[in-house]
C-alpha cells in the first residue's frame, strides 16, 4: 500500500483543495470527521480520569495514551484541512470535575478506558474497509494496529493489577 499512497501523495502535491476532494469518498470524509470527534472526546475523558487516578503506573499509562491521542488529532486535523473538511468543535483542554474522589477509583478508570478501546477497534476497522484512497486507508490501518497494541499492553496491566473482569471458568465435565 506504500506505493499507491506515495503516488497519490505526489499527485495531490500541486492540486487545489477542491481537486483533492475528488480523491476521497463521502464515507472517508465521515470516518475522518468521526475519528477526530471521538479522539477529542477520548482525550477529554482521559484528562478527566487522570485527575482521579491514584496508581502511578495508571497515571503514566494515561499520559502515554494522551500523547498517542494528541498525535492522532494532529494527523487527522492536517488531513481534514488538506481536503477542506470542516473541523468539529474541540472540547476544552482542561477537564474539570465536580465528582468526589471516592466515586472514581483506579479499577473504574481501567475498565472505562478498556471499554473505550474495545469499542473503538471496530470503528477503525470499518473506516479502513470503507476507504478507497490508499493514503486514507493506510492512515486508518495505522490507527487500528496502534490501538490493538495499546489494548494488548493495557490488558496485561489490568491483569497485573487485578482489574480485569474474569469470566467464569468453563468446566466441561
Instruction: Give CA–CA dist 90/72, Å, rounded.
Output: 14
Instruction: Give CA–CA dist 166/13, Å, rounded.
Output: 51
159-172, pLDDT tens digit by residue?
999 998 877 777 77
Question: Does residue 145 contact residue 45 with C-beta atoms inside 8 Å?
Answer: no
pLDDT at 124 > cutoff 80? yes
Structure confidence at residue 30 as a pLDDT band (50, 70, 90): very high
pLDDT of 65: 92
Average pLDDT over residues 60-76: 95
Instruction: Give CA–CA dist 172/117, Å, rounded.
Output: 32
Name which of 47, 96, 97 is nearest 70 in CA terms.
Answer: 47
Indicate the average pLDDT of the chain.
88
Average pLDDT over residues 22-43: 91
Average pLDDT over residues 117-145: 94
Average pLDDT over residues 41-62: 93
User: Residue 170 carries which DSSP code?
Assistant: P
Residues 6 or more apart whose Cβ sits within 8 Å of residue 42: 69, 116, 120
Is the entire prediction scored with pTM above 0.85?
Answer: no
Q: Which three cell numbers stand for residue 152?
A: 494488548
Q: What is the DSSP string of 76-109?
A: HHHHHHHTTPPPPPPPPSS----S-GGG--HHHH
pLDDT of 104: 86
pLDDT of 130: 96
73-105, pLDDT tens digit by residue?
999 999 999 999 999 988 877 666 665 666 789
User: What are the residue ranges spanned by the domains of the chain?
Assistant: 24-89+98-161
CATH number of 24-89+98-161: 1.20.1260.10
pLDDT at 13 > cutoff 90? no
Instruction: Give CA–CA dist 72/39, Å, rounded.
Output: 8
Q: Which three cell numbers stand for residue 127?
A: 473506516
Instruction: Give CA–CA dist 37/32, Å, rounded.
Output: 9
pLDDT at 5 > cutoff 70? no
Amino acid at each position: 500500500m506504500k506505493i499507491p499512497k506515495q503516488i497519490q501523495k505526489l499527485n495531490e502535491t500541486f492540486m487545489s483543495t477542491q481537486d483533492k476532494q475528488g480523491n476521497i469518498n463521502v464515507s472517508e470524509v465521515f470516518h475522518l470527521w468521526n475519528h477526530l470527534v471521538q479522539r477529542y472526546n477520548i482525550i477529554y475523558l482521559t484528562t478527566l480520569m487522570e485527575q482521579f487516578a491514584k496508581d502511578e503506573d495508571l497515571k503514566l499509562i494515561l499520559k502515554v495514551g494522551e500523547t498517542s491521542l494528541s498525535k492522532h488529532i494532529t494527523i487527522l486535523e492536517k488531513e481534514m484541512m488538506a481536503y477542506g473538511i470542516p473541523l468539529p468543535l474541540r472540547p476544552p483542554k482542561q477537564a474539570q470535575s465536580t465528582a468526589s474522589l471516592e466515586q472514581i477509583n483506579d479499577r473504574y478508570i481501567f475498565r472505562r478506558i478498556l471499554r473505550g478501546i474495545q469499542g473503538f477497534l471496530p470503528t477503525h476497522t470499518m473506516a479502513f474497509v470503507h476507504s478507497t484512497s490508499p493514503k486514507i486507508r493506510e492512515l486508518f490501518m495505522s490507527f487500528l494496529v496502534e490501538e490493538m497494541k495499546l489494548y494488548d499492553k493495557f490488558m496485561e496491566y489490568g491483569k497485573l493489577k487485578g482489574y480485569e473482569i474474569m469470566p467464569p471458568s468453563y468446566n466441561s465435565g
